[in-house]
Amino acid sequence: MENKNVFIAIALSMSVLLFWSAFVDTPQPIDGQSSKASSSSKKNKITNSGIVPSIDGSTVKKNISRKDSLKKTNRILLENEKIKGSISLEGATIDDLSFKNYKVDIESNDIVQFLNPIESKNGYFIESGWASIGNRIKVPTNKSIWRAIGNNVLSVNNPVILEWNNGSNLIFRQKIEIDDNYLFKINQEVKNNSSEQVELYPYAQLTRKNIPEDLKGFYILHEGFIAVLDDELKEDDYDDIVEKKIEREADKGWIGITDKYWMTALIPETGEKFKSTFLYQDAYKANFLLNNPKVVAPSSKANNEIKIFVAAKEVQTIDAYAEKENIEKLDLIIDWGWFYFFTKPLFFAVDYLFKMTGNFGIAIVLITIMIRLVFFPLASYSFKSMAKMKALQPEMARLKDLHKDDKVKLQQAIMALYKKEQINPASGCLPVLIQIPFFFAIYKMLFISLEMRHQPFFGWIKDLSASDPTTIFNLFGLLPFTPPSFLIIGVWPILMGLTMFIQQKLNPAPTDPIQAKIFMFFPIFLTVILASFPSGLVVYWTVNNILTIAQQWFIMKRTTVKTN
């Protein structure tokens, strides 16, 4: 164990050294000789080591408070209906952004601060710029001090123009616009006043110092790096990227980082081939770099447009962007999962009910009832034949005993019995299998839904996306102490366990004694597991159990009367 740690430490220090020499040290000199080399080897140079986005790799180790670091640089303020924050004139980075409509938690009035300056603890920011082969051209870095021309408050329909002069006849400009939701459009421009032609590669980069504090790390939800490249969805976890840098070439698409409820995405100019890179280099970084440079002849200009999303994952908003801005598969940033085609319509149904009733919990109850209704005939049919079969169990046991050694005979005898008793064969397994996707869909939908966040239900449930806060271990709040978190088992999970137990009792008990015992523990086990899940999910599960019990009980009762 000890040895292993040493080994990891060595490997880490090695990689730091390597990163240092590759990115931070001095710009790699590419002399005239090598640039005259054959075009294919030149190409290799470009992709392998020649150009990297000109990130000034200096690591910011200090952690100062968000407030202090905001004060340190001059800023352009920005605000619209949904977001507010500022852009640092040092580096022209978007590094201060909050979602106005989302609170940190139900009690506080603080809004969610998503992007943070580089020097603050959870630094998370976006920069865009130009790179050159071998960093030969002096381009803006994250230390460059930009100057606002004219308007210096960014709002809808009031773009801001920033300018930076590299001191050797290149003038860089950024025209930054925001819309009324979550979209930034940055039009970057280079004006070449020199007498030489320059080639510059546009790029944009997300940098995030730490993984989010509320990372779920749960397998049904992807959190981390994400991209759609040439129509293909790519998802990489944070630890994958720490292990290995991932580079991909694409003709079109977008890249980003997705959280459970929030996201950032970078979209290169349409029609441009680009390379997407996910890496860890003192911080998590996702960037794209265009494959082909903008060639700027003396005394002319070149432009490049970059779209940047910093958004709360509201389904309608994201869908509207995917369509309006023609960004392929941007909607996949909401992790609908394999049963996409079920999950999404289901979400719209719940959302509709939510808007109608005004309560997300009631919407969940209603959708559960509706799904039950859809499957009502199927379930009825199967409960009916199950009830009949239960009545025949003694006879079945007799037959089993009679044909102990001959399976085929036994099967024939059972079939004959069915015929004699005029039992329709049971509903079969396909009807059950069909229900599985529905179950997954509703489960996933409730798990990922931003719309459920901070939505109350009745009584003590103030947030359906959080677990039930009550616990049986202090008698649901009667005793004045708070047990440790793993002992928080609330009212709803216990209701779920009870209903599940009752439902089990309606089915014939398994004959094997060990099996029977395991089944006794099943509801308890699930109660404990579900206790830490969003209470909206537990409400769904409980209501579903109750409906199943009601239907099954009613049908069984009727059937027994008939056979008597």
Partner 1 sequence: MLSNIIVFLILSFIKFYNFFISPLLGVRCRFLPTCSEYCSMSLEKHGLLRGVAYSLKRIIRCHPIKILGGASGIDLVPVKNYKPKELD
**Residues of the shown chain interacting with partner 1 in the complex, contacts defined by CB under 8 A:** 381-382, 385-386, 389-390, 407-408, 411-412, 414-415, 424-433, 504, 507-510, 515, 518-519, 522
Nearest CB to partner 1, comparing residues 396 and 472: 396
d(CA 156, CA 178): 6
Least separation in angstroms between residue 432's CB and partner 1 is 6
Nearest CB to partner 1, comparing residues 193 and 411: 411
Least separation in angstroms between residue 492's CB and partner 1 is 21
Token code pair at residue 246: 């991932």
Nearest CB to partner 1, comparing residues 102 and 438: 438
**Kind of pairing, strands 198-208 and 153-154?**
unpaired
CA distances to 191, 219, 377, 391, 418 from 388, rounded to whole Å, are 84, 41, 17, 5, 10
Least separation in angstroms between residue 237's CB and partner 1 is 25
Please state the separation of Cα 290 from the chain's center in Å.
26
Question: Distance between terminal CA atoms of the chain?
Answer: 69
Nearest CB to partner 1, comparing residues 429 and 478: 429
Least separation in angstroms between residue 398's CB and partner 1 is 16
Nearest CB to partner 1, comparing residues 46 and 414: 414
- Calculate the dihedral angle through the C-alpha atoms of 220, 226, 229, 232, rounding to the nearest 10 degrees: 0
Least separation in angstroms between residue 426's CB and partner 1 is 4
Nearest CB to partner 1, comparing residues 345 and 508: 508
Nearest CB to partner 1, comparing residues 44 and 393: 393
Backbone torsions φ then ψ of 13, nearest 5 degrees: -65, -40
CA atoms within 13 A on the CB side of 538: 30
Least separation in angstroms between residue 519's CB and partner 1 is 7
Least separation in angstroms between residue 344's CB and partner 1 is 26
Token code pair at residue 139: 């381009």
Nearest CB to partner 1, comparing residues 152 and 435: 435
Least separation in angstroms between residue 390's CB and partner 1 is 8
On whether the CB atoms of residues 87 and 78 are closer than 8 A, the answer is yes
Least separation in angstroms between residue 383's CB and partner 1 is 8
d(CA 499, CA 172): 66
Nearest CB to partner 1, comparing residues 37 and 436: 436
Least separation in angstroms between residue 5's CB and partner 1 is 34
Collapsed DSSP state (helix, strand, coil) of residue 206: strand
Nearest CB to partner 1, comparing residues 269 and 395: 395
Nearest CB to partner 1, comparing residues 215 and 389: 389
Collapsed DSSP state (helix, strand, coil) of residue 130: strand
CA atoms within 13 A on the CB side of 285: 24
CA distances to 95, 97, 286, 405 from 367, rounded to whole Å, are 41, 36, 39, 49
What residue type is assigned to position 517 of the chain? K
d(CA 158, CA 170): 26
Nearest CB to partner 1, comparing residues 106 and 415: 415
On whether the CB atoms of residues 234 and 226 are closer than 8 A, the answer is yes
What residue type is assigned to position 95 of the chain? D
Least separation in angstroms between residue 377's CB and partner 1 is 10
Nearest CB to partner 1, comparing residues 416 and 487: 416
Nearest CB to partner 1, comparing residues 246 and 498: 498
On whether the CB atoms of residues 201 and 290 are closer than 8 A, the answer is yes
Least separation in angstroms between residue 365's CB and partner 1 is 23
User: What contacts 96, CB < 8 A, 6 or more positions away?
Assistant: 70, 75, 85, 86, 87, 88, 115, 116, 117
H/E run at residue 296: strand 294-296
Nearest CB to partner 1, comparing residues 113 and 504: 504
d(CA 268, CA 277): 13
d(CA 462, CA 288): 42
Backbone torsions φ then ψ of 285, nearest 5 degrees: -135, 140
DSSP state of 29: P
Least separation in angstroms between residue 431's CB and partner 1 is 6
Backbone torsions φ then ψ of 192, nearest 5 degrees: -100, 105
Burial class of residue 340, CB neighbours in 10 A (0-12, 13-18, 19+): middle
Token code pair at residue 249: 């070439």
Least separation in angstroms between residue 503's CB and partner 1 is 9
DSSP state of 90: B
DSSP labels, 132-190:
-GGG-S----TT-B-EEES--EEBTTB-EEEEEE-SSSEEEEEEEEE-SSSEEEEEEEE
Least separation in angstroms between residue 220's CB and partner 1 is 19
